[in-house]
Structure 1
Amino acid sequence: MPVPSQLSTAVLRSCGGIFLLAALGQCAGQPGTSGHRTKAPAVITNFNQDWQFVKDVDTTVTAALFAKTGGPGQWATVSLPHTPRIEPVVTDQQQWQGVSFYRKFFRVPSDGPYPRVTVEFGAAMHTADVYLNGQRLQRHMGGYLPFTVDISKQVKYSEENCLVVRLDNRDNPVVPPGKPLKGLDFNFYGGLYRTVKLRLCNPLYISDAVQAGHAAGGGLLLHYENISSESATLHVQTEVQNNTSEDQNAQVRTVLFNEKGKEVARGLSEAISMAPAAFGQVKHQLTIAQPQLWSPEQPYLYRVVVEVLRDGKVIDRQQTTTGVRSIKFAAKTLTLNGQPLRLRGTNRHQEYPYLGYAISDNAQYRDAWKIKDAGFNFVRCSHYPPSPAFLQACDELGLLVMDSTPGWQFFGNEEFAKNSMQNIRDMVRRDRNHPSIVLWEAALNETDMPKPFMDAAHRAVHEELPFTENVYTCGWLDYAYDVFIPARQHLKAPDYFNKYAKDKPLFLCEYGDWEYYAHNAGFNQTAFSGLKESERTSRQLRGQGERALAQQALNFQEAHNDNFRGPAVGDANWLMFDYKRGYAPDIESSGVGDIFRLPKFAYYFYQSQYGPVADRNGFGKPMAFIANYWQPTSATQVVVYSNCDEVELQLNGKAVARQRPDATAFSDRLARAPFTFKVPAFAPGTLRAVAYRNGKPAATAERRTPGAAHHLQLSYDRSGRDAGQQDVVFVYAAVVDVNGTVLPEATAAIRFAAQGHAELVGDNPVRAEAGMATVLLKTGLGSGAVQLTATADGLPSASLKLTIR
């Protein structure tokens, strides 16, 4: 049989589309070469609805679990993604851990003896035992990566089937990250928290890369060579699996389309022969003339459609998006498509308040949108692989990615090491085709890993992606990996890693938090002298006031500026959003946005480092932000962040000053330094910043002295995606004065209500923090209007109509 070639991008498994379960009957049979019926392209059914859930019950699997009226405890009807418990935001009680059960009753139309029926789990936290009709079929260990259960032989056609998943998310030292929750710097929550799909297809099909389980194989594998603005070569490897009892012949057709749907290139293979239970690999080499190159500024995506044909008829189909780009890491330099690039990054934990990991694809997109809006061009997926929907958003929006295997300050026994290695391979197999991924963190973060493990982990990535270009591993120890990614605080002031002299690419994967929290106070020792720890730290909640938020932003500015003094090709701050962790009851608050995704001052510092020319998606346009609330207690030293050439600050219509960016030891290396003004004295009214580019006004910002609380304003978080069906969105209520100015010290208790195909999740009523209160809105399958209201004592109520499409 032919041997495979390689590929690269993200697999969006769409074999004929997504239909309701009733649509499975549309796979009409046609005569085939082996005597059984040939099916139409596979049908993938969203399997997220009508599950039943129970927890904190007898953990024994008995026959009663599979009877509609049986089983332990009271079953709740739920939809996926799902988390076992609505988790409070701040509490001295840790996240829920234990054994839970999910079950689903379903029917598959009668369809002969050969069709392949599988259940595809996006993720399950973290040890899953899967049963069908009382028979245990599979155990999967690991909470962040997908697995497929083949139920072809056990499923009963035209009869009711019962699928049961027993989930256990208790501490387990052999399941990465392995460290007990009480000592872990993040939470791992629980549940079937990603999408589940039912797939019905022919027994001759394009395999799944993770399920196939062999290096550089399975599914689609894309790889580019000879990339330039004139042409590029795309190699597409397709693996076809024969799950019949007879020899099979098939052809593979590969077609590449541009964003407008125009065909760019195609290939059609000769017929390949596959023995029973064997696979065949087809390689196509497609030439792209004058390709649109993918970059953070221009994230252009092509579409690859691959079809399996037997007797000229399409029997399976997959498609994926792909971006043409080359990346090269070297000592002191990084180039993308042959051009120098500096990585300006952040770290992101995927959790949401209340729901943990169980969020919608739209919510994943909104997180990526915010990261790009904040001025970053890179994100590290700390400390585990993220949702495929997040990676797809990074592809679309133009965010470079470090994909990370699960791990943090823990190395276990031989079984743990084996499971970690499997995680690394499965991560690469799932994510290998995303143009956004430029680094593979095949290392356990801040863990003292044995050298043989690091050697094997580095080798595993290169075995999965056996190409001479565009593949880079990374790790926090300066040993086996292609790129060294320490955190800034792993060395001490004043030099940190600025004197790193090895002939190896260096990227600072964390900075700006710990060095201002426990070890020292950065370089600004004089200014920090005598301050309490809480006043110098980067861990500042939005509600701690403008001085705290300004300090956090200054810390990030100082550290980011200093990182330019060394050989690093970029850096990633710690971190994008506040989050919860196992070893402490409070929120880890060094995010540039809070846990509800509301921005802090530092968000706008980073935003000022991008632009001022808008990219393809509209990010990076001219901006200005006043890092001050302008109240009687506000500092009269006013900092303005802008990506423009000059800024004029006005107070009540009169110019305070017009000046160029700062030139200090904390800003001398920045792409765009802040503008610091000294206002002679506080006067109530309006501060206005006018940013100039090439001598002309390009952006403005205002701060008005807040008056008395007058009413509430309601809004919800769009961030590039309106609310959709089966979505979760943040709803914000602001306490404002008569002019609509938010009162940054307001802490009123606000109650939310919703009418329509949606429910509210979270504390309700909830106290405002820095004048804003937040609740989560979870939508259902229905479309149409949702009416939101917010009320608070002594203030008129506010309402907002939100349309679900």
Structure 2
Amino acid sequence: MISAFNEEWYFSERFSEEWLSWQVEDLLDENISQVFTNQGFDKVRLPHTVKELESNYCNEEDYQLLSTYCHVIDAPLDWQNKHVFVNFGAAAHLAQVYLNGQLLGQHKNGYTAFTVELTEALRFGQKNLLLVQLDSRESNNIPPFGKAVDYLTYGGLYRGVSLEVKETSYFENVFVNADKYGILNLKLQAHQADICTIEGGVYDSSGQKIMSISPQLYQEKLSYALSNIDLWSVDSPTLYEIKLELWREGYKVDDYNTRFGFRSVEFKADGFYLNDEKIKLRGLNRHQSWPYMGYAVPKSGQRLDAEIIKYELGCNAVRTSHYPQSHDFLDRCDEIGLLVFTEIPGWQHIGDKEWQEVAIQNIREMVEQYRNHPSIFIWGVRINESQDNDDFYSATNALAHELDPTRPTGGVRNFKNSNLLEDVYTYNDFFHNGSNSGCEPKKKVTKNAKNGYLVSEYNGHMFPTKSYDWEGKRLEHALRHARVLNDVAAENDIAGSFGWCLFDYHTHKDFGSGDRLCHHGVLDMFRNPKMAASVYAAQGRDKPVLEVSSAMDIGEHPAGFLGDIYAFTNADEVRLYKNKEFVKTFKASQDFSSMKHAPIAITDTIGDLLVKNEGLSPKAAEQVKKCLQAIAKHGPTALPFSIYPTMAKLMLFNGVTYEKAERWFGKYVASWGEKATQWRFEAWKDGVKVSQVIKEPVQKVKLDVTVDHAQLCEEDTWDMATVRIRAVDQNGNTLPYINRSLTFELTGEAQLVGPKHVPLQGGMTATYIKTIGKNGTAQLKIKADGLEDYLINFTCQGGKENE
């Protein structure tokens, strides 16, 4: 029997030795809840963070606590002669677990699950006090601590907890290895199962049994051959489920269910292969953090991140930097075909022998707990960006291969010609500076030509960009991502790349932009897209993508020169109209010839309008256009010498006067004093118009709101809706410089996460709505001065006790 154990917890931001001597029977003389309240405890639900933080300018010391979680366990008499366990999904970062004052176990890793057996200290037929002393201070001698860390590590019982009651014999761990040929190999670990039998079956996604496992004596290794199976791939992520039962003396004592996929992964000298098909990996790095809540987010938020990466950004891979992340996130990656590079906790620093022993244990926990996820294609067995340490990394590699011989190992480094003990050379390539190539060739980074090679990070700190930066910087940010993607695509022996990073994230005072944020993401911290997000979306999304880099407002640019304009799209061409007059058709830029869908440079905003409207010949019109563009770019007093002969010819032979040139400049280039211009960009694919963007002066401002789901339903934990908000004009364009504040008013059976008043940043923000264990409805009203209120209705289904 296994049951969720996420309700009725009591939490204190401090720890007292006195609490270890509490006897539950003594507490029963008073209301237990009142006793905890008197001691400064709050009643909480898991997942839980030890301290909610501001979205920026927060203090990282606030969550570095020695805190306490308590729960009263009522142990019935029928638990006797059985094994009782409590399973923690994650406890950041050093947990000591006590039952009735007796220390039963501790765990030194904030990013993997652990189990503590309670049987020894349980008082059956009585109430028992479970107490967790949780140390989230960064002074602990465990990874990733010991030196600086460029991300906040938060604290709390931030994943779910379960309580499990087992018979004398039970499954401990099952490794399901299913290859592309339909061979299913099982490696079983069980407690006292030598005289047990095992049986079960394999089921397809519809629940239909496709293979039976006949009853047989328990053994640690089993192998089966299946026919007519579908492979797991990024485009068709077919999943199967295995259900195993353990029987002893005619009585079922345990069962084990897990999903898996048939597939093969392999790195060769020339790249990555999934089921023998070469795939260029295109992904981003993800931190598992959110505003306010830190790590403590339930299933819906985890799954949404996977969907954003796959469906909104069009990526086929993600790196879980720099630690193992939620199984809820990985489960969704399994379901939608998103490849995952996961690694042990750490950031640059390698500690002493004790520290390294914890890191090796982290390898064991990571591999044993995550190896049934078909989405995982490589294990990261080095500390991110650490120096070579052959003894240490020989041990981490050996253990990973022992526990899982089916996947390659990698290790992220940020220097060339590192000692390669892993199977794949994974390298943080920050070579690109805006004016050089997007990546370095493999041969310049490693001498291991026969091994696979992967770019594990790029960009990031090289060009931090805020969603409210000026247009030119946001464009350069997008182009830097495009240049790297293009140049990696051109290198046949680079397996792929992972951009740094998915979204902005909290960091320590030593890093970031002074606001405790690293603005390195292609999304902001609230999961709203910056311009660079459209570069990725254009490569992988099936739905039409069209993002135009410029607002076409001359006041945004020096001297009124619009400068470079790009369209990021997955269409074949972009057609430009000015005040409903056709200007020109543009196709992919040759500067990005290796990309599937290259950015399209909008290099001409005049087109044939001089011919059509001013009566110039095509040749003269091109010459006039050249002069007008030079004036816009350089100014009338700093023109390049080469332009003067052209100007002279136009005046002598085409009747161009200063007055005409001045009028044409105002009408076709700067629009000074002219009627406001409407620019229409149309995306065309296969001869069909698939999307359009209109840029014109703002006439109306409204809120555009996206809710991931409005029917909230608690399962094992509380549920959460993500409400992403943009201020847009009448054409749906985000308004990056709007500075209004939003007010959230929530009524009904739900709770607002974060403040009630938030500013728009880059024209965007978000809020979160969480369930409170009750059935009913809730309504969120979003208000801003001068704008229409926006209403969202939610239905809320509480926990199982409310069904």
TM normalised by structure 2 equals 0.82
Aligned counterparts of 2:125 and 2:731: Cα–Cα separation in 1: 64
Q: Where does the alignment leave 5 or more consecutive residues of structure 1 unmatched?
A: 1-42, 208-218, 273-280, 518-536, 611-618
Q: Distance in 1 between matches of 2:681 and 2:216?
A: 66
Aligned pairs for 1:552-567 within 5 A: 552-566=477-491, 567=493
1:202 CA displacement: 1.6
Distance (Å, rounded) in 1 between the aligned partners of 2:743 and 2:230: 50
Listed one character per residue, the Cα deviations across residues 303-340 of structure 1 (whole Å, up to 9, x for unaligned) are 11111123444321111111111111011222111111
CA contact (8 A) 1:131 1:164 kept: yes
Give the match's secondary structure for 1:564: helix
Secondary structure of residue in 2 paired with 1:396: helix
Larger relative helix fraction: 2
Does residue 221 of the first structure (1) align with residue 175 of the second (2)?
yes
Q: In structure 1, what is the Cα distance between the partners aligned to 2:470 and 2:769?
A: 27
Assess if the C-alpha contact under 8 Å between 2:408 and 2:424 holds in 1.
no
Find the residue that maps to 2:456 and give its secondary structure: coil
Contact 1:626–1:703 at 8 Å: present in 2 too?
no
Tell me which residue corresponds to 1:777.
Answer: 769
Aligned to 1:457: 396
Q: Which residue of 2 aligns with 1:212?
A: none
Q: SS at 2:713's partner residue? A: coil
Q: Deviations over 1:198-246 (max 9, x none)?
A: 1122221111xxxxxxxxxxx1111134x24xxx11112332212xxxx
Paired residues of 1:475 and 1:485 also in contact (CA < 8 A): yes
Alignment match, 1:524: none
* Counterpart position of 1:284: 222
Q: Of the candidates 687, 704, 713, which is equivalent to residue 724 of structure 1?
A: 713
Task: Indicate yes or no: 2:450 matched with 1:503.
Answer: yes
Answer whether contact 1:187 1:581 (CA < 8 A) is retained.
yes
Q: Percent identity?
A: 30
Measured at CA, do residues 562 and 569 of structure 1 come closer, stay the same or move farther in structure 2, by a change above 3 Å?
A: same
CA contact (8 A) 1:545 1:770 kept: no
Q: Secondary structure at the match of 1:499?
A: helix
Q: Per-residue displacement from partner, 1:535-584 (whole Å, max 9, x unpaired)?
A: xx2x1111224322211101111122222344311111100011011233
Change (3 A) 1:729 1:639: same
Counterpart selection for 1:433 from 351, 372, 376: 372
Q: Give the SS at the match of 2:342.
A: strand
* Whole-Å separation in 1 of the counterparts to 2:395 and 2:440: 29
Distance across 2 between alignment mates of 1:668 and 1:789: 47
Residue of 266, 270, 280 corresponding to 1:332? 270
Matches within 5 A, 1:752-771: 752-771=744-763
Alignment partner, residue 213 of structure 2: 267
Task: Tell me by how many angstroms 1:162 deviates.
Answer: 1.2
**Partners of 1:312 and 1:688 in 2: CA distance:** 74
- SS of 2:457's equivalent in the other structure is coil
What is the Cα deviation at residue 712 of structure 1? Answer: 4.1
- The answer for unaligned runs of 5 or more in structure 2 is 557-561, 607-668, 798-803
Q: 1:479 to 1:693 in 2, by over 3 A?
A: same
What residue number does 2:144 align with? 177
The AA in structure 1 aligned to 2:392 is F
- 2: CA distance between counterparts of 1:745 and 1:707? 12
The aligned residue for residue 84 of structure 1 is 50
Which residue, out of 534, 540, 549, partners 1:604?
534
Q: Which amino acid aligns with 2:159?
A: R
**Cα pair 1:711 1:798 within 8 Å, conserved:** no
Are residues 110 and 156 of structure 1, via their aligned partners in 2, closer, same or farther at CA, if it must alter by over 3 Å?
same
Deviation, 1:270, is 2.3
Q: Deviations over 1:636-686 (max 9, x none)?
A: 64321222322323344433322321112xx12212111121323467565
- Structure 1 match to 2:204: 258
Instruction: From 495, 498, 515, give the equivalent of 1:569.
Output: 495
Residue 641 in structure 1 maps to residue 568 in structure 2 = yes
The residue aligned with 2:255 is 317
1:412 is matched with 351
1:624 maps onto 2:546 in alignment: yes
CA contact (8 A) 1:130 1:164 kept: yes
Match of 1:483 among 407, 412, 424: 424
Name the counterpart of 2:168: 203
2:469 maps to 544
Tell whether the 8 Å contact from 1:265 to 1:287 is kept in structure 2 after alignment.
no
The separation in 2 between residues aligned to 1:130 and 1:178, in whole angstroms, is 21
User: Could you list the per-position Cα deviations for residues 83-121 of structure 1 after superposition, in whole angstroms to 9, with x for gaps in the alignment?
Assistant: 011111211622420100000113133205212211000
* SS of match in other structure, 1:188: coil
Cα distance change of structure 1 residues 563 and 430 upon mapping to structure 2, 3 Å threshold: same
Partner of 1:144: 111
- Given that 2:684 and 2:691 are in contact with CA atoms closer than 8 Å, whether structure 1 keeps it comes out as no
CA distance in 2, matches of 1:170, 1:557: 39
1:797 is aligned, of 782, 789, 792, to 789
- TM-score of the two chains, using structure 1 as the length reference: 0.82
RMSD over aligned CA atoms reads: 2.4
Which has more radius of gyration?
2
Is 619-628 or 340-349 further displaced after alignment? 619-628
Q: How far apart are the structure 2 equivalents of 1:336 and 1:766? A: 45
How many Å separate the matches in 1 of 2:155 and 2:370?
A: 22
The residue that corresponds to 2:630 in the other structure is none
Matched, 1:353 2:283: no
Match of 1:74 among 32, 40, 51: 40
CA–CA distance in 2 between the matches of 1:499 and 1:604?
Answer: 31
Instruction: Say which is worse superposed, 749-758 or 644-653, in terms of deviation.
Output: 644-653
| Separation (CA, whole Å) in 2 of partners of 1:633 and 1:417 | 57
Aligned to 1:442: 381
The answer for the alignment partner of 1:44 in structure 2 is 2
Give the aligned length: 697
Instruction: Work out which of the residue numbers 221, 231, 237 in structure 2 matches 1:293.
Output: 231
Shifted more, 51-60 versus 456-465: the winner is 51-60
Cα deviations across residues 442-489 of structure 1 (Å, max 9, x unaligned)? 000111242101111111101111x3x544344424420100011112
Higher relative contact order (CA 8 A, sep 6+): 1
Distance 1:396 1:470 in 2: 19
Give the distance between the partners of 1:703 and 1:133, measured in 2 at CA: 67
Offset of residue 723 of structure 1: 4.1
Give, in angstroms, the shift of residue 738 of structure 1: 5.9
TM-aligned CA deviation for residue 708 of structure 1: 5.0
Larger mean CA deviation between 430-439 and 642-651 belongs to 642-651
Cα drift, residue 711 of structure 1:
4.7
Matching of residues 92-241 of structure 1 within 5 Å: 93-95=59-61, 96-111=63-78, 113-180=80-147, 183-207=148-172, 219-225=173-179, 227-228=180-181, 232-241=182-191
User: How many Å separate the matches in 2 of 1:513 and 1:743?
Assistant: 24
* 1:424 alignment partner, one of 351, 363, 366: 363
Map of 1:35 onto structure 2: none
Query: Is the CA contact (8 Å cut-off) linking 1:349 and 1:579 kept in structure 2?
Result: yes
SS class of match (2:506): strand
CA contact (8 A) 1:347 1:572 kept: yes
Q: Does the Cα contact within 8 Å between 1:64 and 1:70 map onto a contact in 2?
A: no
CA deviation map 1:728-770 (0-9, x unaligned): 3332444445666543321111110111222112233111112
